Amino acid sequence: MTGVAPRFSRITGTGSMLPARRVTNAELAAQLAARGIETSDEWIIERTGIRARHFAAPEQTASDLALEAARHALEAAGRKAGEIDLIIVATSTPDMVFPSTATIVQHKLGVAGCPAFDVQAVCSGFVYALTVADALIRTGSARRSLVIGAEVFSRILDFDDRTTCVLFGDGAGAVVLEASDRPGLLASDLHADGAYRDILCTPGTVSGGRVLGDPTLKMDGPAVFKLAVKVLEESARAVLAKAGRSDTDIDWLIPHQANIRIMQGTARKLKLPLDKLIVTVDEHGNTSAASIPLALDVAMRGGRVRAGDTVMLEGVGGGFTWGAVLLDM
Ligand code: UT7
C-alpha cells in the first residue's frame, strides 16, 4: 500500500449466522435425564439467563458458520469479497489443527492473496481480533478487513457434565472493519494471565496420531464468575480512560454473553440502565468468540444500535483473557 496511513478504522457492516437447530433448556434437560443427569429449565434460567442455544449439524464446521456471517457482513457493508485485504477469525473450535479457519473461509469466499489468520483468545477472541485488525489498518497494512468470531463449542462439550454442557452454543458473527478518516474504533484494552489457565480450559491435545488428555471443556464456574466480574469492570474503566470518555458516554454495552448475572453486574457497576445492555445469551447461550459480534449484529439489525452510537464491547474467558473495545458506530 502507498500513501498516508488512515487515522482510524470503523465498522461498516455486520452479519451473523446461527445453525438451524435450536435446542431449548427443556429439550436439553430431557436428553441429559436419559443419561441419568439432572438439570432443569428453571435452574438454567435462574443461574445463567439462558433459555435456548443453537447446535451445528454434524457436518457443519466453524468455517461454514463464519462464511455465512461474513457474507451477511459484506452485504451490509456494500462490499464484495474481492475488496477485502485482511481476514481474521477468532475461534477456539477451528475446522482443523491447521491450516487456520481464516484461510478456509478465504477460499470459501472465492478469494486469494490477502493475509488470513486465526486469533485464539477463547471468549475474548473477538475483541483481540478487532484490535489486531484496527492496528493493521492504522499502520496502512490493510484497508478493508473481515473480522469474524465463529465457534462450534457443542463439539467440545462433555454431555455428562451438567455444570458446563448447558451453558454453550454454536454460531458466528462478523464485521467489516474499514480504514476511515473519522473514528471508529476509539480505544482498546487487552489483558491475559496464564496463571488462571486451569479454571477454564480444554486440556486435550493431539500427539503421535492420538488425542491425549481430555478434549472436552472444563470450567470452575464460580472461580470464572468471580474473576469475570472483577476484570470486566476494570477493563471498562481502562478503555474509557484511554478514549477520554466517561461511562455516561456509553450508548450500548455488549459484553461477552456468558451469564446474565455477570452482564447485569457489569452494567450496574458502570451505572448503565439495564436497557442499555444488549442481551442475546437467552437465545444463543455462550458462543465464546462469536458471542459479541453475534450480539452486535442482532442489535444492529433490530434497530437498537445505530450509526453514531457509542458502543462498548467486552470479552472475558479462557487463558485467562479479557479486554474491551470502545467504538463509535
Ligand atoms: O465464557 C467464559 C466466561 N464464562 C463465564 O463467565 C461463566 C462463569 N460462571 C458462571 O456463569 C456460573 O458460575 C455457572 C452458571 C457456571 C454456575 O452458577 P453458580 O451460581 O456459580 O452455581 P454453582 O457452580 O455454585 O453451583 C450451584 C449448585 C451446585 O449444587 P450444590 O453443590 O449447591 O448442591 C451445582 O452442583 O448448582 C448445581 N448445578 C446444577 N444444578 C442443576 C450445577 N450445574 C447445574 C445444572 N443443573 N446444570
- pLDDT digits over 162-219, tens only? 999 999 999 999 999 999 999 999 999 999 999 999 999 999 999 999 999 999 999 9
Determine whether the shortest distance from the Cβ of 262 to ligand 1 is under 6 A. Answer: yes
Bridge partners, residue 152, by sequence: 170
Looking at the chain, how many residues does it have? Answer: 329
Q: How far is the CA of 47 from the centre of ligand 1 (A)?
A: 7
Which DSSP symbol is given to 194? G
CA–CA gap between residue 23 and residue 220 (Å, rounded): 24
| 256 is a catalytic site residue | yes
Question: Mapping DSSP to helix (H, G, I), strand (E, B) and coil, where does residue 258 land?
Answer: coil
Tell me how many degrees the CA angle 100-14-96 measures, rounded to the nearest 5. 15
Q: Could you give phi then psi for residue 303, rounded to 5 degrees?
A: 80, 10
First to last CA, the chain: 26
Nearest to 151 by CA among 299, 318, 303: 318
CA–CA gap between residue 184 and residue 186 (Å, rounded): 6
CB 178 within 8 A of CB 10: yes
C-alpha 97 chain-centroid distance = 20
Give the residue, by CA position, lying nearest to ligand 1 atom 2. Answer: 317
Q: How far is the CA of 42 from the centre of ligand 1 (A)?
A: 13
pLDDT at 2: 46
pLDDT at 6: 74
CA–CA gap between residue 25 and residue 47 (Å, rounded): 12
C-alpha 12 chain-centroid distance = 18
Per-block average pLDDT, block size 10, for the chain (329 residues)? Answer: 74 98 98 97 98 98 98 98 98 98 98 98 98 97 98 98 98 98 96 98 96 97 97 97 96 98 97 97 98 98 97 98 98
Nearest to 103 by CA among 63, 64, 71: 63
E strands within 213-299? 218-219, 252-255
From 123, 165, 259, 284, active-site residue: 123
Q: Would you state the cell numbers that stand for residue 183, as one nine-digit string?
A: 473514528
CB 87 within 8 A of CB 176: no
Q: What is the pTM of this model?
A: 0.97
User: Which is the closest atom of ligand 1 to the Cα of 222?
Assistant: 13
CA–CA gap between residue 295 and residue 278 (Å, rounded): 7
User: Which is the closest atom of ligand 1 to the Cα of 165?
Assistant: 48
Q: What is the four-CA torsion angle of 119, 121, 123, 125, rounded to 10 degrees?
A: -30
Question: Mapping DSSP to helix (H, G, I), strand (E, B) and coil, where does residue 83 land?
Answer: helix
290-to-156, 210, 238, 262 alpha-carbon distances in Å: 15, 29, 23, 18
pLDDT at 3: 58
pLDDT at 258: 98
Give the residue, by CA position, lying nearest to ligand 1 atom 16. Answer: 221
CA–CA gap between residue 31 and residue 165 (Å, rounded): 11
Q: Would you state the cell numbers that stand for residue 125, as one nine-digit string?
A: 477472541
Q: 47: Cβ–Cβ under 8 A, 6 or more apart, which residues?
A: 259, 261
Question: Mapping DSSP to helix (H, G, I), strand (E, B) and coil, where does residue 183 land?
Answer: coil
Question: Mapping DSSP to helix (H, G, I), strand (E, B) and coil, where does residue 40 land?
Answer: coil
